[in-house]
């Protein structure tokens, strides 16, 4: 198990910039071309990975935990309430890695009934119980010592940081199957349990777990015993326990507490990074028509967390690498919110409705990745959201040439391998395509239906498809099969052909992906036709190796644009002219189109027509396009645009809402 890839690593991994680097992500087209001209290899196929068979069902887990921090040991007493799932059985198998087991007892009415026989192989405990049917519930108690630091090359589940100093810290990481390194459980995502964690620590420590803290008892040996209870069931991998010395800040969302925990050194960056959380909870609750379901929402910054963050129910762990420092006088930019919104969205997609197996990791991760898009779109606008999704597409396009697996992948190597570009990036891009395939209203109604129908249970891809079919009345097998279950992505060769008077148009679209690269896709695609001030939207069905669409208008069309919303996950080749790109720069108010136009036009910036088109970008509402224009327009005194440019620069140096742009404008002015 590669720890670095365990858990919910966010898009942030591939991104630079603690300081919101604005040299942004424009892909070098020559670099992309080099890679795209190659063919992706066939995806590797390992053994079929089924969802875990449910022989028993977890109902409740009660843990009584204390630590020997210096020797990195966990002393535990686990009371598990269980029932046979369907078939009557007298054998119970639990996951428990590297434990020393003291005893296992059968419990009834809080009393020990009898000790139980068991066998233990270092990973699984097989316990002989009385024979129970699915009508029975029974309770066992396991008295154990867990030794998570002895796990070799695998997820330790629980980590002691600076254990030999006077300021140690403890935190857990259960995903994908590591909780069983610190408490006995059935460590599979298709199990669910309510839980009670009773933890005894030195009084100088703060503890955090899932659910609510409902009791604190001071002991007379300098320790305290804290009880955390979560009555709503979640999967064992979401169980969290954090112990350390933290400052705590409290906010509220509709009366529910929203806490942040951080160490002193993060006293500025943590409150800044998490400041939108309560508003995000409100936005997602409304957008999903499903109120945030858990008791509270806490976010904690821990020491030496591998990477990213982890969506433990109501107790989200963050690496300090996820923190941003407030930058004076600069509008807050979406990158600060990316991981915060990702982890929060998991509280519906992952925690409330959980993938039944890691083959279906995308049902957690694609949604969480797309959750950031939804928040950015809401909070910062379409330009910023499209920049985010464009970045996801660029990441996928590069990686799929090395690994061309499907999103849902039953033939993966190990659970860790499923935390990949397919589950996250391709999954999010596919949800984006699905949103445009069915329309906004149907999309949000279908995902809301999916949450309500499957709340507090586990799901596979078909459950999502069925909700979309129930809402839209359409058979969506073709979409789900091609996009989620098949490899690769579309490769389109698009030719725009206009009559001399520009009234009659043919758009000739070929799907040129080779069969081993990806299937033939069937999708509805919006097409926009631009006249001066008007855009006419048409929708066509893309369903063949070659589709030809014809259109007639009574007014001259200046530009046609297939895939008007850039919602298709594809590579596109279009027969564009320089005039087309200049028109796009001035009139197509979409980040992806404009940024791709600059990729071509940057090289022609010495041409005054091109420089004029960039001048129009200086008025764009999106700071990044203004910045690109500022950095690209050549400063030449003998050009026809020079005076206009100079005046614009003076305005921007004083009036631009973005500090960075004001400074960039001042710098250029100083050079003049
Ligand atoms: Zn995630």
Tell which residue, 555, 556, 550, 620, has the closest CA to residue 584. Answer: 620
Taking the C-alpha atoms of residue 668 and residue 412, their distance in angstroms, rounded to an integer, is 53
Question: CA dist 123 to 54, 141, 425, 575, 634, Å?
Answer: 18, 18, 33, 60, 66
352 CA → ligand 1 middle, Å: 14
The whole-number pLDDT of residue 403 equals 87
Quick one: which of 149, 364, 138, 145 has its CA closest to 235? 364
Distance CA 228, CA 216 (A): 9
Within 13 Å of residue 379, how many CA atoms lie on the same side as its CB? 24
C-alpha 9 – ligand 1 centre gap (Å): 6
The β-bridge partners of 523 are 542
- The alpha carbon of 531 and the centre of ligand 1 are apart by a number of angstroms equal to 42
Q: Report how far ligand 1's centroid is from the alpha carbon of 284 (Å).
A: 16
Distance between Cα 634 and ligand 1 center (Å): 43
Q: 3-state DSSP: the chain helix, strand, coil percent, rounded to 5?
A: 35, 30, 40
What size, in residues, is the chain?
Answer: 672
In terms of phi and psi (left: phi > 0; alpha: psi -120 to 50; beta: otherwise), the region of 239 is beta
Q: What is the pLDDT of residue 39?
A: 66
Distance 343 CA to ligand 1 centre (A): 6
Q: Measure 280 CA to ligand 1 centroid, in angstroms.
A: 16
Sheet holding 124-132, edge to edge: 89-95, 124-132, 118-120
Determine contact, residues 605/612, Cβ cutoff 8 Å.
no
* Ranges of the chain with pLDDT below 50: 1-37
Cα–ligand 1 centroid distance for 559 (angstroms): 39
Q: How many CB atoms lie within 10 A of CB 248?
A: 12
Cα of 273 vs its chain's centroid, Å: 17
- Which of these, 330, 323, 328, lies nearest to 309 by C-alpha position? 323
Going from the Cα of 8 to the center of ligand 1, the distance in angstroms, rounded, reads 4
> Is the distance from CB of 30 to CB of 37 less than 8 angstroms?
no
For ligand 1, the distance from its centroid to the CA atom of residue 491, given in whole angstroms, is: 28
Check residue 19 and give its pLDDT: 26
> Rounded to the nearest whole angstrom, what is the distance from the C-alpha of residue 416 to the centroid of ligand 1?
13
Please name the residues in contact with 385: beta carbons below 8 A apart, sequence gap of 6 or more: 334, 373, 374, 376, 377
Spacing, Cα 224 to ligand 1 middle (Å)? 34
SS3 231: strand
* pLDDT tens string 237-256: 999 999 999 999 999 999 99
Spatial separation of the C-alpha atoms in residues 581 and 583, rounded to whole Å: 5
Centre of ligand 1 from the C-alpha of residue 418, in Å: 11
Distance 473 CA to ligand 1 centre (A): 31
Q: Which residue has the tokens 């080099």?
A: 34
User: What pLDDT was estimated at residue 562?
Assistant: 98
Distance 598 CA to ligand 1 centre (A): 32
pLDDT of residue 10: 37
CA of 359 to the centre of ligand 1 (A): 15
Burial class (CB in 10 A: 0-12, 13-18, 19+), 257: middle
* Separation of alpha carbons 128 and 109, rounded Å: 20
Query: How remote is the CA of residue 144 from the centroid of ligand 1, in Å?
Result: 32
Q: How far is the CA of 362 from the centre of ligand 1 (A)?
A: 9
User: 626: which 2 tokens?
Assistant: 């203004």
Ligand 1 centroid distance, CA of 419 (Å) = 8
Q: How far is the CA of 307 from the centre of ligand 1 (A)?
A: 12
Task: Tell how far the Cα of 368 is from the centroid of ligand 1, in angstroms.
Answer: 6
245 Cα to the center of ligand 1, angstroms: 26
The Å distance, Cα 364 to ligand 1 centre, comes to 7
315 Cβ partners below 8 Å, 6+ apart? 208, 209, 210, 240, 242, 298, 300
Distance 227 CA to ligand 1 centre (A): 28
Ligand 1 centroid to residue 349 C-alpha, Å: 9
Give the whole-angstrom CA distance, residue 82 versus residue 134.
10
Quote the ligand 1 centre to 283 CA distance (angstroms): 19
CA of 557 to the centre of ligand 1 (A): 44
- CA of 539 from ligand 1 middle (Å) equals 33
CA of 311 relative to ligand 1 center, distance in Å = 7
Q: Are 351 and 311 in contact (CB under 8 A)?
A: yes
The answer to whether the beta carbons of residues 407 and 434 sit under 8 Å apart is no
Ligand 1 centre to CA of 12 (Å) is: 11
Provide the pLDDT for residue 26: 37
Chain-centroid distance of CA 655 in Å reads: 36
Cα of 7 vs centre of ligand 1, distance in Å, is 7
Distance 180 CA to ligand 1 centre (A): 21
> How many Å lie between the centroid of ligand 1 and the Cα of residue 367?
8
**Ligand 1 mean position, distance from CA 238 (Å):** 12
Q: Residue 466 C-alpha to ligand 1 middle, in angstroms?
A: 24
Tell me, in angstroms, the distance from the centre of ligand 1 to residue 366's CA. Answer: 8
- For residue 150, report the distance from its CA to the centre of ligand 1, in Å: 27
- State the pLDDT at residue 153: 66
As a whole number of angstroms, the distance between CA 312 and CA 241 comes to 9
Residues whose CB falls within 8 Å of the CB of residue 248, separated by 6 or more in sequence, listed in order: 206, 259, 260, 261
How far is Cα 441 from Cα 140, in angstroms, rounded to an integer?
Answer: 48
Before 69, cis peptide (omega within 30)? no
Give the separation between CA 87 and CA 440, rounded to whole angstroms.
44
Per residue in 372-427, pLDDT tens? 999 999 999 999 999 999 999 999 988 888 888 999 999 999 999 999 999 999 99
What radius of gyration, in Å, describes the C-alpha atoms of the chain? 28
> Among 337, 348, 339, 353, which Cα is nearest to 284's?
348
């Amino acid at each position: 198990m590669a720890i670095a890839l365990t858990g919910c690593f966010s898009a942030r991994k591939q991104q630079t910039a603690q300081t919101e680097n604005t040299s942004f992500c424009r892909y070098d087209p020559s670099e992309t071309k080099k890679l795209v001209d190659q063919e992706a290899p066939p995806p590797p196929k390992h053994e079929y990975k089924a969802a875990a068979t449910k022989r028993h069902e977890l109902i409740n887990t009660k843990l009584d935990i204390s630590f020997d921090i210096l020797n990195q040991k966990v002393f535990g007493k686990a009371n598990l309430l269980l029932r046979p799932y369907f078939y009557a059985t007298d054998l119970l198998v639990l996951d428990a890695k590297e434990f020393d087991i003291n005893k296992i007892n059968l419990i009834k009415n809080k009393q020990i009934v009898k000790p139980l026989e068991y066998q233990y192989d270092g990973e699984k405990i097989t316990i002989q119980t009385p024979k129970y049917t699915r009508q029975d519930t029974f309770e066992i108690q396991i008295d154990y010592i867990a030794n998570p630091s002895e796990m070799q090359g695998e997820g330790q589940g629980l980590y002691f940081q600076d254990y030999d100093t006077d300021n140690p810290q403890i935190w857990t990481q259960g995903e994908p199957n590591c909780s069983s390194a610190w408490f006995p459980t059935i460590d599979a995502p298709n199990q669910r349990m309510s839980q009670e964690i009773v933890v005894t620590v030195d009084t100088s420590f703060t503890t955090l777990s899932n659910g609510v803290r409902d009791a604190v008892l001071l002991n007379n040996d300098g320790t305290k015993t804290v009880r955390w209870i979560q009555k709503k069931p979640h999967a064992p991998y979401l169980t969290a326990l954090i112990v350390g010395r933290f400052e705590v800040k409290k906010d509220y969302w509709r009366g529910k507490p929203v806490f942040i925990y951080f160490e002193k050194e993060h006293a500025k960056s943590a409150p800044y990074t998490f400041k939108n959380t309560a508003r995000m909870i409100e936005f997602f609750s409304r957008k999903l028509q499903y109120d945030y379901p858990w008791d509270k929402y806490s976010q904690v910054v821990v020491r030496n967390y591998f990477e990213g963050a982890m969506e433990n129910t109501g107790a989200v762990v963050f690496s300090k690498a996820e923190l941003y420092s407030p930058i004076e006088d600069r509008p807050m930019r979406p990158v600060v919110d990316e991981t915060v919104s990702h982890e929060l969205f998991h509280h519906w997609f992952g925690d409330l409705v959980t993938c039944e197996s890691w083959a279906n990791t995308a049902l957690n991760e694609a949604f969480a990745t797309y959750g950031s898009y939804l928040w950015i779109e809401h909070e910062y606008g379409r330009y910023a959201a499209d920049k985010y999704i464009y970045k996801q597409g660029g990441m996928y396009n590069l990686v799929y040439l090395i690994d061309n697996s499907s999103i849902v992948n039953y033939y993966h190597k190990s659970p860790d391998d499923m935390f990949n570009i397919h589950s996250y990036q391709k999954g999010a891009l596919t949800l984006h395509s699905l949103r445009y395939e069915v329309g906004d209203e149907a999309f949000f109604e279908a995902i809301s239906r999916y949450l309500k129908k499957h709340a507090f249970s586990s799901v596979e891809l078909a459950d999502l498809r069925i909700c979309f079919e129930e809402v839209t009345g359409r058979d969506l097998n073709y979409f789900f099969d091609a996009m989620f279950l098949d490899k690769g992505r579309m490769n389109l060769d698009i030719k725009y052909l206009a009559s001399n008077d520009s009234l009659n148009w043919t758009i000739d679209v070929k799907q040129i992906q080779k069969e081993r690269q990806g299937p033939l896709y069937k999708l509805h695609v919006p097409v926009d036709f631009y006249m001066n001030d008007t855009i006419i939207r048409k929708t066509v069905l893309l369903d063949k190796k070659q589709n030809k669409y014809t259109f007639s208008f009574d007014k001259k069309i200046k530009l046609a644009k297939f895939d008007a919303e850039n919602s298709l996950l594809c590579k596109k080749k279009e027969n564009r002219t320089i005039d087309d790109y200049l028109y796009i720069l001035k009139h197509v108010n979409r980040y992806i189109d404009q940024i791709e136009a600059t990729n071509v036009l940057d090289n022609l910036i010495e041409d005054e027509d091109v420089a004029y088109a960039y001048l129009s970008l200086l008025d764009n509402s999106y700071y990044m396009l203004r910045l690109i224009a500022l950095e690209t327009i050549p400063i030449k005194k003998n050009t026809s645009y020079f005076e206009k440019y100079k005046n614009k620069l003076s305005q921007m140096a004083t009036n631009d809402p973005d500090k960075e742009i004001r400074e960039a404008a001042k710098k250029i002015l100083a050079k003049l």
